[in-house]
Amino acid sequence: MYALNESKLTYKEGYPLKSELKEQADCSCCHNQAINMIEHLPIEQDTQWSLCKTHLKKLLTHSLSPKEFHQLYKKYGDVYLLHDDFYDPETGIAFQPIE
């Protein structure tokens, strides 16, 4: 993930840091079992994501579908990983997904 310039995420032993608040969560996109990940940013407040492995990968590679983008944007708002540098906020289309 550091190669993807996503070094602002907290990792422990190769995986995103799991929240101690809840052991099991549903993915914010598909309601499958999720990984709870905390995104630490120096200026903004931390964002705690609840996403399955598939949607976590799509989020980190800026390749969410417009529907997935709008679901996450509605829940989390204008945060770094959903920023308008990566997606068109009106259409939800990714500008430059990482392959």
Q: Please give the average pLDDT of every successive group of 10 residues along the chain, which has 99 residues.
A: 46 45 73 82 77 91 95 90 91 89
In a domain, 56, yes or no: yes
For position 44, what pLDDT does the model report?
65
For position 24, what pLDDT does the model report?
63
pTM greater than 0.75: no
For position 55, what pLDDT does the model report?
92
d(CA 98, CA 32): 24
For position 91, what pLDDT does the model report?
94
In a domain, 48, yes or no: yes
In a domain, 86, yes or no: no
Total structural domains within the chain: 1
Which residue reads 């990482």 in tokens? 98
d(CA 20, CA 18): 6
For position 23, what pLDDT does the model report?
52
